[in-house]
Structure 1
Amino acid sequence: MMSLIQNTIDYSHVVYKYLLDAGLSDNLAKYLNMFALLISLLVVVFLADYILRKILVKTFNQFASVSKSNFDDLLVANKVPRNIAHIIPFLIALEFIPSVLIDFDHFETFVEKSLQVFAIVLTLWIIRSLLNTLKSYFKTLSNLKDKPVDSYIQVFMIFAWFGGFMSAIAIITGIPFIKFVTGLGAISAVIILVFKDTIMGFVASIQVSINDMVRIGDWITFEKYGADGDVIEINLATVKVQNFDKTITTIPTYALISDSFKNWRGMVTSEGRRIKRALNIKLDSVAYLSKEQVDSLKKIEIISDYLTTREQDINTYNTNKNVDKSLLLNGRNLTNIGVFRKYVQTYIENHSAINKDMTIMVRQLAPTTQGMPIEIYAFSNDKRWANYEYIMSDIFDHIIAATPYFNLEIFELPSNSGFKA
């Protein structure tokens, strides 16, 4: 053991002895010896780092090119081999720095602590690279790509950075790590206050994930924050929504559990998209139908059989009751709005773009100051926005154009042309 120490000391003073023999002072010779050894060590470290980095990166690239999995490609993309390559040069520096600074104990302590802090930083770099790789890889898995993986990765990184920071402070101050962490209890309230949003976001992201409230790709509407579009990212603190005008709205994660919002996922995963729209019919256009008007409406094919059957039933009832039909109000009668509702119902039921297995209903709502609402309630087969709007427009184009055939008028506020003499 003594011989090994002696050999190390001799090796560390090779330049020193040469400079003393050259006539330099003892102090100057020690400094020049240290600089010479330090430069030599730096050259070795940088060469080792360069060579190892090239070898590791090339090896990983070759392996990734023949591998069927994309995990190794992601390792290379996130610089995991490059960061791992720094370990051997660091160990070389840590091993030989005492020999370089053998005559400068005060420098040696400072440099060794600096290297230990750098070791913590290097470890965090490697952890971050691995976590980023896992994040990218999990997003390629079908059962995980819609989960808030970013939130959990961020939580791990926060704990890693916090532990690294505490370790670095413990090394610099010389306080044992356990005692240092124990002493943090006194300032825990301050830490909680500083990281309040992070803690709230972490808890919220867990609740959002466990309760399956929001997934990446969901269409949500959050009026409070002006969001109406697809969720593109769920982080620890924020949720990013790309609105349909391509703007981005950022929502605090904890707002998803503290406020009310609408998630359209149920509509997307269902068998159809709901159509719920009404036409307002002018009340003074609603009337009973005469025999001649009924005969005229029988020319409309899809309600011809209905009118024939309905007319027979009404006539039978009125005959059995000896109803005086000199006044149209007496007995049972068909109305233009009733026949119109039946026409729209039959038209919707026969429409090729409407899902026949879901609710189809044409109903009359309570009269308002703007007329009598006739509401269509049905579901389109196609849930894509553009196609859905086209289907709904096509239906109402037809119905609006069909209204005059039933002697009905659609209510609208008078325009300037309505006041012309």
Structure 2
Amino acid sequence: MEYIQDIAGAYPWLETLFWLIALFLAALVVNFVVKVALVRVLNRLISGAHFINGPEVVRSGVIARLANAAPALVISAGIMAVPGLPFAVAAVIRNVANAFIILVIAMAIAAALTLFEAIWRRRSGPAGRSIKGYVQVVTIVVYALATILMIAAIIDRSPLILLSGLGALTAVLILVFQDTLLSLVASVQISSTDMVKVGDWIEMPAMNADGDVVEIALHTVKVQNWDRTITTLPIRSLVTQPFKNWRGMQESGGRRIKRALNIDMSSIRYLTEEEQARLSRLSRLRGYLGDKSRELAEWNAALGAEAETPGNRRRMTNIGAFRAYVQAYLQAHDRIRQDMTLLVRQMPPGPEGLPLEIYCFTATIAWAEYEGIQSDIFDHLIAIAPEFGLALFQSPSGSDFGRLLAAGEASARREAFVPPSEGA
């Protein structure tokens, strides 16, 4: 024992080195005990606690991050007690250890916030309000405060001194974090007004976005388009640019059909009595034709002698009968919502004929079913229009011009043919 004391007296740096090694070994032992024993035991206990979402807490790594502070605490508490170590060196090591502890705590808080956001998203469901933007803002604040505290710990000064100097840097900070501040304001506006939620179908042609919102973050909104691509939008664009949110359609349970049949106006005419009799065999038109015939008969009878002039009389048209048929057909359709708007109307005529628009809502919002219902309706209407003597407008194609040209050439050949004289 005296020999060791003599050596320590002759070589004081050996004692300092010995206690430094002992301190760092103690830190390693504490690190091993905390991570291997304590953390594993806590993780096993917590993973079985389903009422606090134990498995998810373990996966978040909050406890593991906090465990990293244990060896730093040992070094911070024991470094000043090492004999022979210069005070300045011991102070630097202690301050660095304290800064590391602050960083570990900040990382644990950030992991806890991420865990909270994940639990909120799962419990609120895909249609719930997203808080990811708020969590990201709080995380930024936590790391900003941690940075100030770490700098104060390293230079061994009060953090209030650093905070007092931030006033002069306010303009610079606003310039640096301009995008973050604008995104935060936009996120608050979107959340408070319930403009967009995760799961909404939005359409923004200016950004080539048309699909479901899958994520709302502080700076961006991710939209999964129907072709399975991902469009990332700046969150500010949802406030500054127009977009369409289809949530109202999804919540109503009906999807709108708004499509027109272009009727060739040259095919519109009055119905003859024979045509009325033939169309009256259609069950959906029988009531309409009977009521309309009585109405027109009463009107024309009131004209007296003027009814002898055809232009004075009211007569039934094929376009009117067809419009009544379409209305009755839609009202009898079991896949069309009868409690929502249902119209069959004529739009202003144009170069492509007279548009007869169908405006109604299907009893489903599923895309494939909706398209199938819409196609079945127009398949039937296009096929039955000739029964009313109506022709649908279609721009001339190459084959149409080919037939016209062939007919013109045949006519020219007939005119050019000169039959032989009878006496020849």
Q: Within 5 Å, give how 1:50-89 maps onto structure 2.
A: 50-69=32-51, 71-89=53-71
Match of 1:7 in 2: none
Q: 1:323 to 1:163 in 2, by over 3 A?
A: farther
* Matches of 1:221 and 1:261, distance apart in 2: 6
Secondary structure of the structure 1 residue equivalent to 2:123: coil
Structure 1 stretch 102-111 or stretch 292-301: which is displaced more? Answer: 102-111
Following TM superposition, by how much is the alpha carbon of 1:326 offset from its aligned partner in structure 2, in angstroms?
7.3
Letter of the 1:209 partner, please give it: S
The answer to whether residue 198 in structure 2 is matched with residue 224 in structure 1 is no
- Aligned residue number for residue 75 of structure 2: 93
- Corresponding residue of 1:365: 347
Query: Relative to structure 1, is the Cα distance of residues 56 and 399 closer, same or farther in structure 2, using a 3 angstrom cutoff?
Result: farther
One-letter code aligned to 1:405 = E
Tell me, yes or no, if the aligned pair for 1:345 and 1:361 is still in contact at 8 Å.
yes
Name the counterpart of 1:247.
229
Q: Is the 8 A contact 2:95 2:155 kept in 1?
A: no
Alpha-carbon distance in structure 1 between the residues aligned to 2:379 and 2:51: 53
Q: CA 1:59–1:174 in 2, change beyond 3 Å: closer, same or farther?
A: closer
Counterpart selection for 2:269 from 284, 287, 310 = 287
Q: Which runs of 5+ in 1 are unaligned?
A: 1-13
Alpha carbons 1:286, 1:337 under 8 Å: kept: yes
- Give the match for residue 185 of structure 1: 167
| CA distance in structure 2 between the aligned counterparts of 1:405 and 1:134, rounded to whole angstroms | 66
- List per-residue Cα deviations over 1:337-372 (Å, max 9, x = no partner): 110000001101111111111111100000011100
Q: Give 1:324 shift.
A: 6.9
Equivalent of residue 321 in structure 1, options 283, 303, 322: 303
How far apart, CA to CA, are the structure 2 residues paired with 1:178 and 1:145? 43
**Partners of 2:150 and 2:63 in 1: CA distance:** 25
Alignment of 1:94-109 (within 5 A): 94-100=76-82, 102-109=84-91
- The TM-score, its normalising length taken from structure 2, stands at 0.89
Superposition deviation, residue 262 in structure 1 = 1.0
Q: Tell me which of 167, 176, 181 is aligned to 1:194.
A: 176
Aligned to 1:309: 291
1:334-353 counterparts in 2 under 5 A?
A: 334-353=316-335
Amino acid at match of 2:313: G
2:147 equivalent among 150, 165, 170: 165
1:236 aligns with 2:234: no
C-alpha separation between the residues in 1 aligned to 2:31 and 2:158?
A: 31
- Residue 397 of structure 1 deviates from its aligned partner by 1.0
Residue aligning to 2:413: none
Residues 73-94 of structure 1 show CA distances to partners (whole Å, capped at 9, x for unaligned) of 2210101121222343332222
RMSD: 2.2
Normalised to the residue count of structure 1, the TM-score between the two structures is 0.90
Deviation track 1:310-348 (CA, whole Å, cap 9, x = no partner) reads: 123222332342467777544011111110000001101
Matched, 1:49 2:26: no
| Alignment correspondent of 1:116 | 98
Q: Which blocks of at least 5 consecutive residues in structure 2 are unaligned?
A: 407-424
User: What residue is the counterpart of 2:254 in the other structure?
Assistant: 272
- Aligned residue pairs, count: 403
- Distance, in Å, in 2 between the alignment partners of 1:251 and 1:53 is 42
The structure-2 alpha-carbon separation of the partners of 1:166 and 1:289, relative to structure 1 and needing over 3 Å to count, comes to same
User: In the TM superposition, what whole-angstrom CA distance separates every residue of 1:8-58 from its partner, at most 9, and x where no partner exists?
Assistant: xxxxxx9xx8667459953xx50x433433333333222322222233443
SS of structure 1 residue aligned to 2:124: coil
Q: Which amino acid aligns with 1:118?
A: F
Supply the distance in 1 between the matched residues of 2:369 and 2:84 (Cα, whole angstroms). 79
